[in-house]
């Protein structure tokens, strides 16, 4: 899947650099959104205003407070930027100008990578200078839900289920290559045998649950604890 498959499309709510902070904040609250794309008169994306841009504000007493002597040691330009951020009343004064964006054909794997790398919640999707849509974390959750609904369990034979569970296990390097046995009866999967790390228990269950047609996974696995108290002395023959 790619960005265009999941993005929220028009009409996209945007604001301009000259939009008042009061109006922008009102839109965010009214529409239950945590960010607004900022476009110029030609519709070109020039920034984005997010909740994070509104956290440090003089009106609510969250602006940074520094001792006067510390301020004297700080660069004037940095202090001036900080003042604009905490006292500005127009979107253009507060918005983030270095906008992370993507093209409509960007794979979802790359979209998620950008969201994680930049610690952001939404990604504008652009083509040239034109804003086409937004991919937010919620859009990705919606896409996940659609796929889960499409992959609802279907009636399948036990032999088909057994074959697919075995194939899933074969693809994963963490699955014990010996000692785990799978049985299937009426769509119910029984996992039997030995595991050597307790974390393998949940992973084996989840792997089996991903196979279409599985109604239930029952765990009969036995954890073989490592013999950590068995040590070999130096120079002692084996």
Q: What is the mean pLDDT of residues 192-221?
A: 93
SS3 196: coil
At 230, the pLDDT band (50, 70, 90 cuts) reads: very low
* b/e map 82-94, b = 16+ CB within 10 Å: beebbebebbbeb
- At the second CATH level, the architecture of 158-223 is 2-Layer Sandwich (3.30)
| Residue-level pLDDT at 234 | 39
Q: Dig out the tokens for 229 from the structure.
A: 């108290």
Let me know if domain 3-147 sits in CATH 3.30.830.10.
no
Task: Supply the mean pLDDT for the chain.
Answer: 86
| Residue-level pLDDT at 6 | 93
| Residue-level pLDDT at 18 | 96
Cα end-to-end span (Å), the chain: 57
Which pTM value belongs to this model? 0.65
Summarised one tens digit per residue, pLDDT across range 50-103 is: 998 888 888 888 876 665 544 444 555 667 888 888 888 999 999 998 899 999
Summarised one tens digit per residue, pLDDT across range 19-56 is: 999 999 999 999 998 899 999 998 899 999 999 888 88
At 145, the pLDDT band (50, 70, 90 cuts) reads: very high
Cβ(169)–Cβ(180) below 8 Å: yes
Q: What is the mean pLDDT of residues 151-166?
A: 86
Q: How far is CA 122 from CA 135, 180, 184, in A?
A: 6, 43, 43
Q: Where are the domains of the chain?
A: 3-147, 158-223
At 153, the pLDDT band (50, 70, 90 cuts) reads: low
């Amino acid at each position: 899947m790619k960005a265009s498959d999941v993005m929220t499309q028009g009409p996209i709510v945007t604001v301009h650099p000259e939009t008042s902070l009061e109006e922008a904040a009102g839109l965010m609250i009214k529409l239950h959104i945590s960010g607004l794309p900022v476009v110029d008169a030609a519709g070109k994306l020039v920034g984005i205003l997010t909740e994070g841009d509104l956290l440090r504000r003089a009106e609510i007493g969250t602006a940074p407070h520094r001792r006067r002597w510390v301020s004297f040691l700080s660069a004037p330009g940095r202090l001036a930027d900080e003042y604009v951020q905490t006292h500005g009343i127009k979107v253009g004064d507060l918005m983030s100008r270095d906008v992370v964006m993507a093209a409509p054909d960007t794979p979802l794997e790359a979209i998620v990578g950008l969201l994680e790398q930049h610690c952001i919640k939404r990604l504008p999707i652009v083509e040239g200078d034109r804003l086409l849509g937004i991919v937010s974390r919620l859009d990705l959750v919606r896409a996940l839900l659609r796929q889960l609904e499409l992959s609802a369990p279907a009636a399948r034979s036990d032999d088909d289920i057994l074959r697919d569970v075995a194939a899933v296990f074969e693809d994963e390097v963490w699955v014990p290559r010996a000692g785990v046995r799978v049985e299937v009866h009426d769509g119910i999967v029984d996992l039997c045998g030995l595991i050597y790390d307790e974390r393998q228990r949940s992973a084996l269950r989840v792997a089996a649950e991903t196979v279409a047609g599985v109604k239930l996974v029952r765990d009969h696995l036995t954890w073989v604890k490592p013999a950590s108290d068995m040590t070999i002395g130096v120079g002692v023959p084996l």
